[in-house]
């Protein structure tokens, strides 16, 4: 993968856990979603893009759950770009237990650049594409 950045830090609170005592899948998804905002910000996506009607839409997400996270665990997510297409890019995120260093989950997500008015995918903005390609190459 190209260069990874830290995208998220959080705590597994007891209310994020299910009846079996580990963090439930819905909260892994929320943490990865929060991480994606930081990755896209690092690629140059700003609130000004939203104001101009350009957004992002996740079109495919594949999550691998590798180790349990229990209440009290501190988590950190690193992410990076693994593919750049015409209208979308693919990112890989790795969630780790900060205390043990163990990888708890990984997510591969395909996200399209999205025209918020037309409600359809559009080509990646040139500056976003350029930044994503630099990160893909490991130079970012």
Number of domains within the chain: 1
Sign of CA dihedral 120, 106, 32, 126: negative
**Geometric angle at alpha carbon 84, from 80 and 87, rounded to 5°:** 125
Helix (H) or strand (E) holding 25: helix 25-42
Say which residue, 132 or 140, is predicted with more confidence: 132
Does 137 score more than 80 pLDDT?
no
For residue 13, pLDDT over 90 is answered with yes
40-59 per-position pLDDT tens digit: 999 999 999 999 999 999 99
**The domain that contains 83 carries what CATH number?**
3.10.129.10
Q: Residue 79 corresponds to which tokens in the numbers above?
A: 């992410």
Tokens standing for 85?
């297409």
Query: In the chain, what is the straight-line distance between the N-terminal and C-terminal CA atoms, in Å?
Result: 12
Q: Would you say the pTM of this structure is higher than 0.85?
A: yes
| Residue numbers of the domain that contains 25 | 5-136
Band (2; pLDDT cuts 50, 70, 90): low
CB count in 10 Å sphere of residue 5: 17
Q: Is the pLDDT of residue 103 over 50?
A: yes
Nearest to 35 by CA among 104, 114, 124: 104
Of residues 132, 32, 58, the one with CA closest to residue 124: 132
């Amino acid at each position: 993968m190209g260069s990874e950045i830290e995208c998220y830090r959080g705590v597994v609170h007891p209310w994020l856990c299910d009846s079996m005592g580990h963090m439930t899948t819905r909260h892994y998804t929320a943490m990865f979603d929060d991480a994606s905002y930081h990755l896209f910000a690092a690629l140059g996506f700003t609130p000004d893009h939203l104001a101009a009607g350009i957004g992002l839409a996740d079109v495919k997400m594949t999550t691998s759950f590798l180790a349990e996270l229990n209440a009290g665990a501190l988590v950190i997510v690193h992410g990076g770009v693994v593919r750049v297409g015409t209208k979308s890019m693919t990112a890989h995120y790795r969630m780790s237990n900060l205390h043990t260093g163990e990888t708890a989950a990984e997510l591969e997500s395909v996200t399209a650049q999205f025209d918020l008015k037309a409600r359809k995918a559009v080509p990646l903005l040139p500056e976003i594409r350029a930044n994503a390609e630099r990160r893909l190459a490991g130079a970012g």
